[in-house]
Each structure stands twice: as structure tokens, then as C-alpha cells.
Amino acid sequence: MKKTNNQYTFISEENFELALARLNALGDEFKPWTLTQARKNHTDEFSEVIETGDDYYKKSIGQAFDSNVKLSKKSMGRFAYLYFMNSNALENIADKVIKERNEKLQRGVNSISL
């Protein structure tokens, strides 16, 4: 991630996706941040406008259908940057969780006999 004109941008889409995977690894496995497309205009948690048709990220925070936190891609980038800023320990923990979940998934796939 780099800072330009008070904006944080990821060097590549791959780096952004890794940061998102790390956020999901450190959160509830069954309530991850998910990419969705806006069917109406919204304002996210950081007052960024999400317009109809824009992709944005949402995370369920309750049982109700509309209990979601919403972040534009721009806000998600800021959030991920700040969350992991100067924290190699958090990145390492998240990477370990990702590896363990992938291994568990692979064991499940391998156990299926066709």
C-alpha cells in the first residue's frame, strides 16, 4: 500500500485481495466481508458514497437482514491499511489462519470419494 495525496492505494489488486483475506481470517469465519453490487445509493461507514451499480463490501453484524456494515472499495482499502499498519504480527496470525483453513478444506475435498 502506498499513500498519495492523503489517499491510500494498494500497489496491486493482488495486495488488496490479500489484505481482504487477512481481514476475513481474523474475523468470524461464517460472517466474512463479501463483495456485492449496490442496488441503490448508500453511504458507507466513512461517509463515502456508494452509488447504484458500484461494487462495495459488506459484513453482517447481526441477525436482521439489514444488519450490515458497508464499505466502499476505497474505504475498505483505508480500513485494511490502517488495520495492518506496522503490524507484521497480525499479518502473520492471519496468514496462519488462512493456511489452516485451506488445509482443512483440502482434507475435506480429499475425503470425498467419487
Q: What is the pLDDT of residues 58-98, one digit of tens each?
A: 999 877 667 899 999 999 998 998 888 888 999 999 999 99
Q: 82 lies in which domain range? A: 2-111
Task: Inform me whether the pLDDT recorded for 114 exceeds 70.
Answer: no
What is the pLDDT, as a whole number, of residue 75? 94
Q: How many domains does the chain have?
A: 1
Interval 26-52: pLDDT, tens = 999 999 999 999 999 999 999 999 999
CA distances from 52 to 19, 39, 41, 43, 102 (A): 25, 5, 5, 11, 34
Q: What is the pLDDT of residue 113?
A: 62
Place of cell 456508494: 50
Residue 59 pairs in a beta bridge with: 69
Length of the chain: 114
Q: What is the mean pLDDT of residues 6-19?
A: 77
Identify the pLDDT of residue 84: 87
pLDDT at 4 over 80: no
CA distances in angstroms from 111 to 61, 99, 101, 102, listed in the order given: 33, 18, 15, 14
Check residue 3 and give its pLDDT.
53
Residue 25 CB coordination number (10 Å): 20
